[in-house]
Amino acid sequence: MDHFTYRNGILHAEDVPVPAIAEAVGTPFYCYSTATLTRHYTVLEEAFSALSPLFCFAVKANSNQAVLRTLGQLGAGADCVSGGEVRRAILAGIPAERIVFSSVGKTVPELEYAVQENILQFNVESLAELHMLSDTATRLGKTARIALRINPAIDADKDVGTHAKISTGKKIHKFGIAFEKAEEAYALAANLPGLKITGISVHIGSQFTSLEPFRWAFPRIIELTTRLKQNGLPIDSIDLGGGLGIPYHEESPPQPDIYAAMIREFVEPLNCRLILEPGRVIAGNAGILITSVILTKHTGEREFVIVDAAMNDLMRPSLYDAYHEIIPVTAATNPEDTRLLDIAGAVCETGDVFARGRLLPPMQAGDLLAFRSTGAYGAVMAGNYNTRLLIPEVMVHGNAFAIVRKRQTYDTLIGMDEQPPWLA
Ligand code: LLP
């Protein structure tokens, strides 16, 4: 459930009419709903009440500091995958003792920074990283708490039910320490200075709409954890990553309580603290992208609506063929008068098409459209292709709204270029 609904035929974000935001901010822009973020976080918290896990929000899904602060104030921690994300989380008020740091390629400066901040846990993804982290922590006179991220090694040809580009738990993937190497890696970790083993972690991919991949992967990790504990390793926490899908279109992913019941069944016997890294399930449906129609054109074959957002603002359709529901901000007055439209951006790429053949009312220049479910992996994946400016992000809270990220300016963007001395 979200808080983007029509009132008197006008799309509202909570109590704010979307056209009022568009008027104040210009288009395109992302718009986040505080009530929806809060609701999604609370529903998860309630579903998992028996285990009271630490929910480390996957910052990669939406790293806006207003989003992070909203979630942090509800008690969320952060799952970060770069030094930049750790900085954002800390600046947004999320305490270091609630931050985990995953990444297959943490650099020495990133490790140094996170060690100095004394974050909760490094999810270490290779033997080489164990050595790098041990050296870094020792040099700084600190101890780094670690979990090893284990790749459960799902067979490459097994269909895990999500897009190939967002699946991470197969043998062919770069993520985590190979399942068969886990014991060797823990033995090494136990002997390296500057490291304190505290846990184990796993993350198998994203946008799962069935529990089956989890049911396949988690028991392997649980069984491994039991064995490691029996061998005397101090594994006090288990981090089961993120990955629960959301309804973008016709999917019906498992409800949080069903997901929680499955995890409880696996985790309870272990007697470990549970950490989860949900991203999309919290932020995905808490955001919409608002764009306006620049013009319409008929190619002879198709009827195109060209909008002022483009693939650089929302990559998901062109990158993963992702479906985002597209709705008019002013509801259609005459439902018979709809037509099949292709919605595209202005970037010079054939792939810059958001959707084909959507049933919409006739569109004209200036009309507003909303792309639903763009609160996760939307703004964070945007870029400047075609020298297009990064678009603003707005947060709504009841009847108030605020810009939580300014529109980039040409001066900032183009001003980053420097001329070499021989051209100056
Ligand atoms: N933990 C780790 C280690 C991850 O790599 C991810 C996502 C998450 C947690 C959060 O997963 P979630 O709960 O959001 O599914 N850009 C793609 C999604 C990439 C996901 C990468 N990792 C998309 O737009 O669908």
Query: What would the pLDDT profile of 232-288 be if each residue is shown by its tens digit?
Result: 999 999 999 999 999 999 999 999 999 999 999 999 999 999 999 999 999 999 999
Question: CA distances (Å), 150 to each of 104, 134, 359, in order?
Answer: 12, 19, 45
Distance of CA 246 from the midpoint of ligand 1 (Å): 12
The CA distance from 236 to 361, in Å, is 56
Query: Which of 60, 82, 168, 177 best tests ligand 1's pocket when mutated (most atoms within 8 Å of CB)?
Result: 60
Residue labelled with tokens 């197969």: 170
- Contact indicator for 370, 288 with CB cutoff of 8 Å: yes
Architecture of domain 95-278: Alpha-Beta Barrel (3.20)
Q: What is the pLDDT of residue 171?
A: 73
Which residues are catalytic, by number? 348
Point out the ligand 1 atom lying closest to the alpha carbon of residue 381.
Answer: 16
Give pLDDT, residue 90.
Answer: 98
pLDDT for res 161: 67
pLDDT digits 0-9 by tens, 119-139: 999 999 999 999 999 999 999
For 162-180, write each residue's pLDDT tens digit: 777 666 777 778 889 999 9
Q: Is the CB of 4 under 6 A from ligand 1?
A: no
Q: In the prediction, which pLDDT does 391 show?
A: 98
Which pLDDT value is given to residue 162? 72
The whole-angstrom distance between residue 250's C-alpha and the CA centroid of its chain comes to 21
| pLDDT under 50: residue ranges of the chain | none
Q: Specify whether the CB–CB gap between 359 and 339 falls below 8 A.
A: yes
Q: Is 140 in the pocket of ligand 1 (CB under 6 A)?
A: no
**Nearest residue to 13 (alpha-carbon basis) of 282, 374, 338:** 374
Question: At 144, which amino acid appears?
Answer: A
The half-sphere exposure of 388 on its side-chain side, counting CA atoms within 13 A, is 21
Nearest to 100 by CA among 148, 166, 152, 171: 148
169 CB less than 6 Å from ligand 1? Answer: no
Residue 61 CB less than 6 A away from ligand 1: yes
- DSSP string of 312-368? TT--HHHHH-----EEESBPPS-GGG-EEEEEE-SSSSTT-EEEEEEEE----TT-E
Phi-psi region of 130 (alpha: psi -120 to 50; beta: other; left: phi over 0): alpha
